[in-house]
Amino acid sequence: MTSLMHFFTTIFLVLIPINAITHHHHFGLKSLHFTLYQHETINKTGYIVVNGVAGPPVSQTTTPFGTLFVFQDPLTLKPKHTSKRVGTAQGTSITSGLDGLQSISIAKITLDVKKHKGSISIVGVTNNIKPSNHPVVGGTDDFLFVQGYVTSSPVNLVGLTVTYKIEFHLYWPLYASSKP
Ligand SMILES: *[C@@H]1O[C@H](CO)[C@@H](O)[C@H](O)[C@H]1NC(C)=O
C-alpha cells in the first residue's frame, strides 16, 4: 500500500511539471507573463488638463501636487516606438505626492497579445523615476477575472516622447475557466 502510494506520488510529481511548462498552467492555474513598452508624447498622447497647486513645477520628472493628467498611449512589443503596436493604455493620473514625483494612476490597458484579446484595469501609485507595481483589479473578454500586477519602469524620460517598460504578471483564478 505504502509503496503503491509512493509510486503514484512519484508519477504525479513527474507529470505535473511537464504539464505546467507546456500549457502555462501551474497546478491548474493559468498565468501569462510578458513585457511591453508604453510611449507617451506630451501634448499628443498625454495632456495636463488641470494644473496642480503646490510643490515642484512641471519638469521632465515632476508635476505640481494636484496635477490632473490624461493619456491614451500606444503599447509596443519592443522599446522602439515604431515597433509593432499590440495595445493601448488609456487613463488618468493625479499627482498625489508633495514631492511631485508620485501620482495615483488609473488605467485601462487594451491588449492583443499571445492569442489573448481584451483589456485589464490597473490602479496604484506611479513613481516617475522608480519602478512601480500596480495591482490588476480586473479584466474583460479573454482577460475576464484576471488578477496579478503590472510593473511600470521608466526607460527613457528625455525628449518629447517618454518610454516606460510595462511588465505584466497575470494569473487566472480557478473560477475563470467556467466563464460564460
Ligand atoms: C503643452 O501644451 C501646454 C499648453 O498649451 C504648454 O504650456 C506646454 O508648454 C506644452 N508642452 C510641450 C512640451 O510642448
Q: What is the structure's pLDDT at 15?
A: 47
Asked whether residue 59 is domain-assigned, the answer is yes
Atom of ligand 1 lying closest to residue 160 CA:
13
Q: What is the structure's pLDDT at 24?
A: 56
CATH number at residue 85: 2.40.480.10
Nearest CA, atom 13, ligand 1: 42
How many angstroms does the Cα of residue 178 sit away from the middle of ligand 1? 49
Asked whether residue 140 is domain-assigned, the answer is yes
The rounded distance, in Å, linking the Cα atoms of 99 and 154 is 17
Q: What is the structure's pLDDT at 17?
A: 45
Residues of the chain with pLDDT under 70: 1-27, 178-180
Nearest to 97 by CA among 53, 154, 48, 55: 55
How many angstroms does the Cα of residue 15 sit away from the middle of ligand 1? 59
Q: What is the structure's pLDDT at 29?
A: 84
Asked whether residue 23 is domain-assigned, the answer is no
Asked whether residue 168 is domain-assigned, the answer is yes
Q: What is the structure's pLDDT at 60?
A: 87
Q: What is the structure's pLDDT at 22?
A: 39
How many angstroms does the Cα of residue 51 sit away from the middle of ligand 1? 12
Per the structure block, which three cell numbers stand in for 105? 494612476
| pLDDT tens, position by position, 116-134 | 999 999 999 999 999 999 9
Q: How many domains does the chain have?
A: 1
Asked whether residue 164 is domain-assigned, the answer is yes
Q: What is the structure's pLDDT at 42?
A: 94
Q: Which domain holds residue 158?
A: 31-175
